[in-house]
Amino acid sequence: MTRSAPPGDIAMDVRAPLRRPVLVPVHGGRATSTVSRSEQPSARAARPVDLEVSIPAYNEAGRLPRTLERTVEFLAQQPWSARLVVVDNGSSDGTADVVRAHIRTSGSKVPVELVGCARPGKGAAVRRALLHSRARFVGFFDADLATPVETLSIAMQHLEAGAAAVVGSRYTAGAQFVHAQPASRRLGGAAFRLMTRSLVKGVQDTQCGFKFFERAAIVPALVSCRTSGFAFDVELLRHLQEAGLDIVEVPVAWSHASGSSFSPLKDGMSAFRTVLQLQRCAIGRAS
Ligand SMILES: Nc1nc2c(ncn2[C@@H]2O[C@H](COP(=O)(O)OP(=O)(O)OP(=O)(O)O)[C@@H](O)[C@H]2O)c(=O)[nH]1
Ligand SMILES: [Mg+2]
């Protein structure tokens, strides 16, 4: 079942000595990661929080500083406890150093953690973060902060009221584009939405980079997910619906940001291929 809802910076104390980095194999020209699987495991274990926010990051050194600052600022003012986790997906532009610098220089208002992900792909990074969390509520948004961080308040209201999944939507009543996407991306997005309609029923926008969940409710679906790229969201939402879980779509005020790491040719084509495979599986199972 799907429902639509009305619209609506950090720290790591890196004081503990860092663990030896896990060397991550190079995939498709990616950098060998120098990020340990978790650079702050003790803090993570010591302090369970209400909400863990993850940011998948691939070459986001330029866009992350503002996003970290804004997010920590916001989380520090909320009634619920929170942690921010940046998943560095084999970046070669110093993304990890940007996160470490933020941790060093900001106060400890909200714990910030840097983790590495050996498998390339946004889906792999998100899955890794959500599966390793111990918070009651978990989720992610993109490093470009295209969806305002304030949308989290609305998401938390729905989660606390019992929703298993709350997803941002650019195509449900009340949503708006503050800065529109380029025409080519809009066209690709429209085709993608058309193709995903039969897989994820009633959800207008599977691709908005803003999704939050009750962790315990979605773990079986997460474990079943095989997609590591941008179509991960489609597979996850489909598994959730198959499990009979409620997905709430909340309208967002979305701003396109320059500097996207999304490659229409590589990431876009691969996402279309994955959706075709998911459709074939769905047809195969139905017949
Ligand atoms: N392209 C890419 N992005 C990744 C990867 N791993 C994590 N990400 C992150 O996934 C998030 C989504 O990427 P964006 O570049 O914002 O792409 P998008 O939101 O689909 O597209 P835009 O509309 O251009 O913002 C960002 O935070 C990326 O850094 C990866 O392997 N490839
Ligand atoms: Mg984005």
Dist. CA 83–CA 185, nearest whole Å:
32
What tens-digit pLDDT sequence spans the chain (287 residues)? Answer: 555 554 432 222 222 332 323 333 333 456 666 676 556 544 444 578 999 999 999 999 999 999 999 999 999 999 999 999 999 999 999 999 999 999 999 887 899 999 999 999 999 999 999 999 999 999 999 999 999 999 999 999 999 999 999 999 999 999 999 999 899 999 999 999 999 999 999 999 999 999 999 999 999 999 999 999 999 999 999 999 999 999 999 999 999 998 888 999 999 999 999 999 999 999 988 87
Ligand 1 near 93 CB (within 6 A): no
Our count of domains for the chain comes to: 1
* d(CA 208, ligand 2 centre) in Å: 8
Q: How far is the CA of 58 from the centre of ligand 1 (A)?
A: 7
State which amino acid sits at residue 248.
Answer: V
Cβ of 36 closer than 6 Å to ligand 1, yes or no, is no
Q: What is the DSSP string of the chain?
A: -EEE------B--TTSPPPPPPPPPP-TTPPPP---S-S-HHHHHH---SEEEEEEESS-TTTHHHHHHHHHHHHHTSSS-EEEEEEE-S-SSSHHHHHHHHHHHS-SSSBEEEEE-SS-SHHHHHHHHHHH--SSEEEEE-TT--S-TTHHHHHHHHHHTT-SEEEEESSSTT-EEEEPPPHHHHHHHHHHHHHHTTTSTT-S-S--SEEEEEHHHHHHHHHH----STTHHHHHHHHHHHTT--EEEEE-EEE--S-----IIIIIHHHHHHHHHHHHHHHHHH-
Q: What are phi and psi of 3, to 5 degrees?
A: -125, 150
Q: Taking ligand 2, which is a single-atom ion, which protein residues have CB atoms under 5 Å away?
A: 142, 144, 146, 209
Q: What is the CATH number of the domain that holds 253?
A: 3.90.550.10
Task: Supply the range of the domain harboring residue 85.
Answer: 2-286
Q: How far apart are CA 256 and CA 144, in angstroms?
A: 8
Residue 156 CA to ligand 2 center (angstroms) comes to: 21
Give residue 283 CA to ligand 2 midpoint distance, Å.
31
| Alpha carbon nearest to ligand 1 atom 31, residue | 121
Closest by Cα among 170, 185, 275 to 229: 275
Here the tokens at position 171 are 């195509």
27, 266 Cβ separation under 8 angstroms: no
Q: Which ligand 1 atom lies nearest to the CA of residue 261?
A: 15
Tokens of 94: 């110093």
Phi, psi of 248 (to 5 degrees): -100, 125
